[in-house]
Amino acid sequence: MYRPTLSIQSLPAWAHLNDVSFHNVKVINTKGKGYGVVSDEDLNLTNETNDASALIAVPHDLVLNAAAVEEYAKEDKGFRLLLDAIGHRSTRADVLLFLLVQMVLGSRPSHANVGLSNPWTEYLKFLPETVLVPTLWTEEERLLLRGTSLEAAVNAKISALDAEFDLVREKSSDIIAWNDMLWMEGVPVSFTDWIRLDALYRSRCLELPRSGESMVPCIDMINHAATPSAYYDENTKDEVVLLPRPGVGISKDDEITISYGDAKSAAEMLFSYGFIDPASSAESLVLPLNPFPDDPLAKAKLVAFGEAPKIHVARQGREEKEKEESGNSSTPNKKGPVGWTSPFAHLMCVNEEDGLEFRVLQQTDGARQLRVFWQEEDVTDRTGDFEALIRTHPLAAVLSLRVVTVVQGALQAQLERLASSTVPDAAAAAGDPAVQQRREDCVRTATVLREIETKILEDAIEGLEGEKNALLADKNVVAYLGLTEAAESGLAGDEASNEPDDFS
Ligand SMILES: C[S@@+](CC[C@H](N)C(=O)[O-])C[C@H]1O[C@@H](n2cnc3c(N)ncnc32)[C@H](O)[C@@H]1O
């Protein structure tokens, strides 16, 4: 839909009207990062920060979260109907609905017969038209993610957004005033509008110490840096304040930055914010894990496990590694090993002959319930704990070898997919310079992600090779494989008669 915009030069006027105070800082257009906040003068900072040193202060009533949406619904009966029909599922869902209404009000206020304007109606007009998060990449641009951990995640997110948008359309169409407002008047709201609102929310929401997950106008103009100069907090007046970090020097024209978190992986940063900062992203990735296609228990295992099966891969921190080795290594650039976890892989690799059993129990009310048994013990509530459960099995090492082989195979397949899909040349995008620039940004970011994930996968596979070799040397495994080999060579003897050579 058509979306009016406001120049960032008008932000001070909006801030003044809405009691947001800026002290010696201003919002400007930065190079390559959209808007950002810079210092207007050299700041003489002490090691103490308090309210007097706040660079930006935002009144509590501008903070947008589930509680604020609820307050808004008390004043606007029309919105109450909409919120009760669609909202109350999560903070995000309520805020997105509110933003949708504000976006529509902002684009055709004269026609509005429902919905009350609010400071956010105008503030939305300052926000960027697009965010480079992959849900807003074109289908062609998303091919750049082939083989990365984001390939499946972005497709799943787009499907989820599609289902969510259908629900919003269906429920709001039942309310005549909203049906007219959202879907009939002028250019109706589109799926792209919905994806854009989701992207704005994801890339701009903050975790406030008291108010929780919230959007805060103006504070959301601050960019990220690995070594930030500021942080946000809530003060005794319930304002959200931007404070300089103690001991950090800020000169005139310096950009003021905060940290968006250092525990997020490169994929998570790209997914949520549309950029990757290798200096502050965690070296980790998450991949989906599919059960064996020929496992007759696959469905029961999935139901009993209760969540989407995954493999988490993460480089262990240097300190962790040093602690583990209890040595005092002084090779600062040496990276720690890459470890993995996958609770489902352990469940996936055990079968009836190992002691796994599924039973369907009829309850007194007639309902049927799937129960999981391991070695005769009911472990229905511990399906995520099979790594520990198999440790006491006489063939524990054999079962572990299966798991390690499965995980290594999945990571190897991912690495091959990553290596086999090349990144097309950005110059291939012809025409409009803005489209060309955007394509270059997507190619650059996807290339960074691909390099980071390739290295993590290679190191994880190498680590798994070590684990596999250690397990192959285990005496129980040697004995088990010896028996299996003997059985198979007996079988091979029978099968040998089927070899084409024998017919010759
Ligand atoms: C909370 S907003 C910050 C203000 C934003 N730059 C704007 O124009 O409104 C977060 C977005 O800013 C951009 N951004 C923030 N830090 C960045 C960085 N270090 N490098 C590149 N882009 C960054 C990304 O587009 C991100 O989604």
Residue-wise pLDDT tens digits, 229-248: 999 999 999 999 999 998 88
Average pLDDT over residues 94-109: 90
**Among candidate residues 198, 202, 199, the one with its CA nearest the CA of residue 165:** 198
The yes-or-no verdict on residue 333 having pLDDT over 50 is no
Verify whether ligand 1 is closer than 6 Å to residue 150 (CB atom): no
Ligand 1 atom 15, closest CA:
223
Verify whether ligand 1 is closer than 6 Å to residue 223 (CB atom): yes
- Helices (H), ranges, 87-217: 91-107, 119-123, 139-142, 150-173, 176-178, 191-204
CA of 226 to the centre of ligand 1 (A): 13
Verify whether ligand 1 is closer than 6 Å to residue 203 (CB atom): yes
Ligand 1 atom at shortest distance from the alpha carbon of 33: 22
Verify whether ligand 1 is closer than 6 Å to residue 202 (CB atom): no
pLDDT at 311: 98
Residue 288 backbone dihedrals phi, psi, to 5 degrees: -75, 150
User: What ipTM does this complex have?
Assistant: 0.99
Mutate to test the pocket of ligand 1, among 127, 203, 240, 268 (most ligand atoms within 8 A of CB): 203
Ligand 1 atom at shortest distance from the alpha carbon of 34: 8
pLDDT at 249: 87
pLDDT at 241: 97
The class level of CATH for 8-272 reads alpha beta
The angle subtended at Cα 261 by Cα 255 and Cα 263, nearest 5°, is: 145
Cα-Cα-Cα-Cα dihedral of 182, 185, 188, 193, to 10°?
-60
Higher pLDDT, 396 or 362: 396
Ligand 1 atom at shortest distance from the alpha carbon of 132: 25
Ligand 1 atom at shortest distance from the alpha carbon of 131: 25
pLDDT at 422: 76
Cα Rg of the chain, angstroms:
28
Q: Return all residues near 86 (Cβ < 8 A) that are at least 6 apart.
A: 93, 97, 167, 168, 171, 172
Verify whether ligand 1 is closer than 6 Å to residue 22 (CB atom): no
Q: What is the pLDDT of residues 261-301, one digit of tens each?
A: 989 999 999 999 999 999 988 999 999 999 999 999 999 99
Domain with CATH 3.90.1410.10 in the chain: 8-272
Ligand 1 atom at shortest distance from the alpha carbon of 30: 6
Element holding 213 (H helix, E strand): strand 212-214
Q: What is the pLDDT of residues 140-152, one digit of tens each?
A: 999 999 999 999 9
- Per mean pLDDT, which range of 87-96, 334-343, 463-472, 493-502 is the poorest? 493-502
pLDDT at 502: 32
Cα-Cα-Cα-Cα dihedral of 208, 228, 204, 90, to 10°?
-40
CA of 69 to the centre of ligand 1 (A): 25
The yes-or-no verdict on residue 50 having pLDDT over 50 is yes
Mutate to test the pocket of ligand 1, among 28, 131, 275, 444 (most ligand atoms within 8 A of CB): 275
CA of 220 to the centre of ligand 1 (A): 9
CA of 203 to the centre of ligand 1 (A): 8
CA of 33 to the centre of ligand 1 (A): 5
The yes-or-no verdict on residue 331 having pLDDT over 70 is no
- Helices (H), ranges, 314-385: 318-325, 343-348
CA of 157 to the centre of ligand 1 (A): 21
Ligand 1 atom 4, closest CA:
221
The yes-or-no verdict on residue 128 having pLDDT over 50 is yes
The yes-or-no verdict on residue 447 having pLDDT over 70 is yes
Residue 168 binned pLDDT confidence (cut-offs 50, 70, 90): very high
Residue 329 binned pLDDT confidence (cut-offs 50, 70, 90): very low
The yes-or-no verdict on residue 158 having pLDDT over 60 is yes
pLDDT at 494: 47
The yes-or-no verdict on residue 466 having pLDDT over 80 is yes
